[in-house]
Amino acid sequence: MNQFPLLMIPGPTKIPPDVARRMCEPIIPHRSKEFSAILKDIYSNLKYVFQTKNDVFIFASSGTGAMCSALENLINNGDKVLCLESGVFGRRFEFIAKSLGADVHTMSVKVGGVISPDILEDYLSKNKTKIVTLTYSETSTGAANDVKTLCSIIKKYGAISVVDGISAIASMEFKMDEWGVDVAVAASQKGFMVPPGLSFLCAGDEALKTFKKCQTKSTYFNWEYYINTVKENSVPFTPPVTLLYGLDESLKLIQTEGIENVVLRHKNLAMYLRNSLKDNGFKLLTDDDKNASYTSTAVISENISSVKIIKLMKERYNIYIANGQLELKNKIFRIGTIGCVTKSEVEATVNALKDIFDFDNI
């Protein structure tokens, strides 16, 4: 039994000790020179993580806030929006787009699957579309879309790509500028290893032009406020100072390790988990490694309710894993390998699952 709960869910993640310590520092005024110096480092390191020359905005919200911000600053009533859906989070974009009065077309895949570039190209070649939303790592199924290829097709047909990178950015390869991504969003409680409460958004040049023509912009999340304040190493509203201390520290950890090493570490860990699970007879929802997320792995729980497995994992081994969501609830369980999870923690998780299945005959 682990002394401390082992958090093996796909976010929120464990917080590295340096980040936790830093968040104990006393609050200073958010309009002070000292705080502005912290923000300067944060803004510069966020650009490094997003691999972009453009500014990255910070919102005091969970990831969904940044998803709302993305669409609220681009969509006018009646705009044609294509939502690529590979799970719960793809569907969230559809919900937001519809609430803004967009004319939404949805392209879905079977659970655990990914969007086909050919089908996307076929659709865009026949249907003039203003915005395409897509999910990088679909945390609900453990599948990862080929964002690089999909965004190049979206660009070819003159549409704006809006990428939910919430469980991918700072963990999986992401090159905003090189891949031609127009808008990307992320959140603190995933690869950034900071508690929940911050979200990030980066808008490229084409998206900023489209934003200028948006007639009904967001209020709290209006990019205008953020465009101006980032340039001054400031924030428009009172920020969660403590979380920003944590973010400053975690970005420095990522910077020191190097983003390409962070990505490789997540890939190796996810593949180790996937292989260990398969070797022990578990079936993965996203079976093909080439479509796999490196941060969320979904295991089919066969005829057993995931609730029972999750309960035993917690009671016996003090390990938290996650249930499926919506129609996948109780049918799968999900294991997170995101942030500072170690190989021995993955090993402990697989061993605990093995014990439960072998000895409990469930």
Chain residues binding ligand PMP by CB under 6 A are: 11, 62-64, 89, 135, 137, 139, 164, 166-167, 187
| Comparison of 62 and 255: residue with beta carbon closer to ligand PMP | 62
| Comparison of 139 and 286: residue with beta carbon closer to ligand PMP | 139
Residue 259: burial class (beta carbons within 10 Å; 0-12, 13-18, 19+):
buried
The DSSP letter of residue 336 is: E
Instruction: Write down the least CB distance from residue 191 to ligand PMP, Å.
Output: 11
Strands 322-323 and 103-108: unpaired
Instruction: Write down the least CB distance from residue 122 to ligand PMP, Å.
Output: 26
Instruction: Write down the least CB distance from residue 199 to ligand PMP, Å.
Output: 7
183 pairs with which residues across the strands? 162, 203
104 pairs with which residues across the strands? 81
| Comparison of 38 and 187: residue with beta carbon closer to ligand PMP | 187
Runs of H (alpha helix) within the chain: 17-22, 33-50, 63-72, 88-99, 117-126, 147-156, 205-212, 223-231, 241-257, 259-279, 306-317, 343-359
| Comparison of 35 and 200: residue with beta carbon closer to ligand PMP | 200
With CB atoms as reference, the residue minimizing the distance to ligand PMP is 63
| Comparison of 50 and 89: residue with beta carbon closer to ligand PMP | 89
R_g of the chain, CA atoms, integer Å: 20
Query: Residue 224, SS3?
Result: helix
Could you tell me the two tokens for 146? 């080929």
DSSP 95-119: HHHHHTT-EEEEEE--TT----HHH
Instruction: Write down the least CB distance from residue 99 to ligand PMP, Å.
Output: 15
Instruction: Write down the least CB distance from residue 266 to ligand PMP, Å.
Output: 14
Instruction: Please give the Cα distance from 293 to 296 (Å, whole number).
Output: 6
Instruction: Write down the least CB distance from residue 293 to ligand PMP, Å.
Output: 9
Instruction: Please give the Cα distance from 274 to 278 (Å, whole number).
Output: 6
Instruction: Write down the least CB distance from residue 149 to ligand PMP, Å.
Output: 19
| Comparison of 52 and 135: residue with beta carbon closer to ligand PMP | 135
| Comparison of 182 and 312: residue with beta carbon closer to ligand PMP | 182
